[in-house]
Amino acid sequence: MNDTPDAIKQYIIMKHLFPLFVTLLLMLSCQTVDQKSEESSPVSSSIADGLISELKEKHGPDHEFRLNRGVRQVASLWRCSDGSADDFANFVRESFISDPEELDLVFDRLANNFQYLYGYLNRISLELNRQIHEDRGPVHAIDRLFSAYSPAAHVQSDLYRNRIAFIIALNFPHYSLEEKNEKGGSWTPREWGYARLGEMFTARVPPRLVQQAGQASSSAGLYISEYNIYAGMLLDEEGETRFPQEMKLLAHWNLRDEIKSNYADPDGQVKQEMLYQVMRRIISQDIPQQVINSPGYHWNPFTNELFLEGKPVAGNPEQTVRYEHLLANFKALSAMDPYYPNLDTYIKRRFESVMEIPMEEVESLFREYLASPLVRETGERISRRLGRPLRPFDIWYDGFKARSALPETELDKITRKRYPDAAAMKDDLPRILGEVGFQPEMARFLASKIEVDAARGSGHAWRASMPEKPSHLRTRVGRDGMDYKGYNIAIHELGHNVEQTISVHKVDNYFINGIPNTAFTEALAFMFQARDLDFLGMSRADPMAEHLEVLDVFWNNYEMMGVSLVDIGVWKWLYDNPEATAVELREAVIRIAKEIWNDYYADVFGERDVPLLAIYSHMIQSPLYLMNYPYGRLIMFQLEEHYRDRSFADETLRVFSLGKLTPRHWMEQATGRQISNDPVFQAAEKALKMTGSISQ
């Protein structure tokens, strides 16, 4: 070799070293990519194309669609750490299932195993969060840490590592929302199960980001769950207290509900004005920290003056804490964006994947509703009933309901006596379910799958993810029993629990358990909540009650659609300003809330630049959740119409057994109609005419 010309020597050296060099470069590349984005795929499109052609020739053209979808899906998810391109090719050859009977068998095995995997993970999360979610005494630092821990954070990663995820992605195609809406009308429940299984592994989010999002969500939830205002320590403009000394109101829920309850009180407006000012201070964050979850100070929310034992003291404004939690949620959720090729923002994921209704469709429906002349006419009707011009807090006007004629203190006496503790509510569930027509055996079955807990926060329903475990109904229960607010929330949550039980136990297969999106469970929750007085044996024989109830729903949705548009607008702004500070976010939220108010509320209420639509706690702890409520009411309204000449219990069992179809197909099978404003517009117009002579 010594007498070989230099050029040839260099060629031979490079010939032998080049493969080693490429391998080393690939390893370094994978390590670099891994540090930056948890690796990209080493599989080229040409390799995927070649495999598709090879397997189509082997298995026949009938499998072309599944091969095209599956091979490309796995290629997009495959990482250097999973193996080489050759390893990928061998995996695909060995793992593609062409035999329909074998595919069915694998589907059933997956359904069984995932039911237990996610069912027990759900149960673990429930147990780790009990001290946070339930009224079990003081929260210790260790409780916060367990609440922030996500036991499922590494499951997806593990399923990729052991290749179960790849087997699913290869054999069960993923369909876009457009494709599901187009093709799903002819699918059997099992075919829907195949499609839902195909959605499980479409992105590969690193566990650290899942954990990070869980921590941000838990922190925001705990902040909100302990955001109480001691109403008995509030001072009016004359420096007088107006509320019972022991009254504690959680923001925003109890503040809002206390405003609602005071329409039956001759002196209620003074109290409502006080709570309205509290809300404004929370939004602006100049509320003194000393009055949050503490009864130690008297506070005048009009002047923002603070008093300790009758002497004025300096307050420490909260400043930006509320918006820091919102910002933390944004940063945690947007950090996942690069791992979703087709849904690369949380906004897209929330609407197109979770809700399965495009954002543009949601906004268009809401803006049509908010601009309706019927809203203006209803506002004028409320003003006449009140005998005064509308105030901003009248977005929560509650005077159309039967219970509005009853002082809430009387309702409190009734509910506290009936439900001294959570166990009393649990024992009463079979009777309540019987009131809406469930046969005794079914009422007992549904009740046996629901546990009732005293909540630390306002209340919620915790879904069970497997038949062997119950769902949980949480609401506030005071030391002297469940007040009317707690009872009303409990009945709402019971509606969720009924849906949760039916849609777990009565669906065709595990992968379609549930409902299309959260709005559908909200619909049934609202239907139960509207019957809360019936369950107390207090319904009234009022020929106008049905029309007044329509106006109540119509007005409630007017409020919620505006709140939802603020939520959407804030997330749009966050994506336009990803480096924003909490101060900048606070100002943006207030500005967006005022803009929505000026566009759709100022002409009704006669006041501009009101930020009240930004008060909802969901914005802080449950990002982009709020639109489920107005959608839920629209669905509720259409279900109530559909139920009119049918059995409530039988239809509830039927429609909530349909499972997790897309909203379009669920509505078609349930009611024969799509979600629209038209039914409620028509009913509201009729209600306004029928109740035109009623002033109270």
> What DSSP assignment string belongs to 620-666?
HHSTT-TTHHHHHHHHHHHHHHHHTTS-HHHHHHHHTTS-S--HHHH
Distance CA 246, CA 295 (A): 9
Distance CA 600, CA 375 (A): 10
Quick one: average pLDDT of 132-143?
Answer: 89
Residue 29: the pLDDT is 38
311 Cβ contact list (under 8 Å, min separation 6): none
Quick one: average pLDDT of 385-400?
Answer: 95
pLDDT-derived band at 264, boundaries 50, 70, 90: confident
Distance CA 572, CA 2 (A): 69
- Give the max Cα distance, the chain: 114
Residue 270: the pLDDT is 96
Residue 14: the pLDDT is 37
Half-sphere exposure (Cβ direction) of 163: Cα atoms closer than 13 Å: 13
Q: Is 398 helix (H, G, I), strand (E, B) or coil?
A: coil
Residues above pLDDT 70, as percent of the chain = 93
Residue 403: the pLDDT is 57
The amino acid at residue 279 is: M
pLDDT in tens, 30-88: 444 344 344 678 999 999 999 999 999 999 999 999 999 999 999 999 999 999 999 99
Residue 546: the pLDDT is 83
Residue 41: the pLDDT is 84
Angstrom distances, CA of residue 40 to CA of 75, 173, 208, 511: 10, 21, 17, 29
User: Please, where are the H alpha helices in 99-206?
Assistant: 100-128, 130-133, 141-148, 155-161, 164-171, 177-183, 189-197
Enclosing H/E stretch for 474: strand 471-475
Q: What angle do CA 395, 400, 403 make, to 5 degrees?
A: 110
Half-sphere exposure (Cβ direction) of 457: Cα atoms closer than 13 Å: 22
Nearest CA among 608, 673, 661, 576 for reference residue 634 = 673
Q: Residue 451: beta bridge partners? A: 472
- Minimum mean pLDDT among 12-21, 435-444, 562-571: which range? 12-21
689 Cβ contact list (under 8 Å, min separation 6): none
Quick one: average pLDDT of 341-369?
Answer: 95
Domain ranges of the chain: 1-37, 100-222, 230-318, 408-537
Query: Which of 12-26, 37-51, 635-649 is most confident?
Result: 635-649
Distance CA 469, CA 465 (A): 8
Distance CA 503, CA 465 (A): 10
Q: Is 674 helix (H, G, I), strand (E, B) or coil?
A: coil
pLDDT-derived band at 404, boundaries 50, 70, 90: low
Half-sphere exposure (Cβ direction) of 511: Cα atoms closer than 13 Å: 22
User: Are the CB atoms for 253 and 261 separated by under 8 Å?
Assistant: no
Residue 457: the pLDDT is 76
Residue 624: burial class (beta carbons within 10 Å; 0-12, 13-18, 19+): buried
Q: What is the pTM of this model?
A: 0.83
- Minimum mean pLDDT among 130-139, 445-454, 466-475, 536-545: which range? 536-545
Residue 191: the pLDDT is 98
Q: Residue 234: beta bridge partners? A: 299
Q: What is the mean pLDDT of the chain?
A: 91
Residue 541: the pLDDT is 61
Say whether pLDDT at 621 is over 60.
Answer: yes
Torsion angles phi and psi, residue 292, rounded to 5: -85, 115
pLDDT-derived band at 12, boundaries 50, 70, 90: very low
Say whether pLDDT at 3 is over 50.
Answer: no
Nearest CA among 73, 67, 85, 81 for reference residue 31 = 81
Distance CA 234, CA 340 (A): 48
pLDDT in tens, 75-94: 999 999 999 999 999 999 99
Chain CA centroid to CA 658, Å = 20
pLDDT in tens, 486-526: 999 999 999 999 999 999 999 999 999 999 999 999 999 99
pLDDT-derived band at 540, boundaries 50, 70, 90: low
Quick one: average pLDDT of 307-324?
Answer: 97
Q: Which residue has the higher pLDDT, 210 or 95?
A: 95
User: Helices (H) and strands (E) in the chain — how many of each?
Assistant: 32, 8
Distance CA 48, CA 96 (A): 14
- Minimum mean pLDDT among 55-64, 285-294, 404-413, 584-593: which range? 404-413
Residue 503: the pLDDT is 97
User: Are the CB atoms for 642 and 671 separated by under 8 Å?
Assistant: yes
User: Are the CB atoms for 658 and 666 separated by under 8 Å?
Assistant: yes
Query: Which of 25-39, 132-146, 463-477, 653-667 is most confident?
Result: 653-667
Angstrom distances, CA of residue 94 to CA of 12, 49, 166, 171, 456: 38, 17, 12, 12, 52
pLDDT in tens, 270-283: 999 999 999 999 99
Q: At what angle do helices 164-171 and 85-95 cross, to 10 degrees?
A: 60
Residue 231: the pLDDT is 97
Q: Is 92 helix (H, G, I), strand (E, B) or coil?
A: helix
Residues above pLDDT 90, as percent of the chain = 82
Residue 39: the pLDDT is 64
62 Cβ contact list (under 8 Å, min separation 6): none
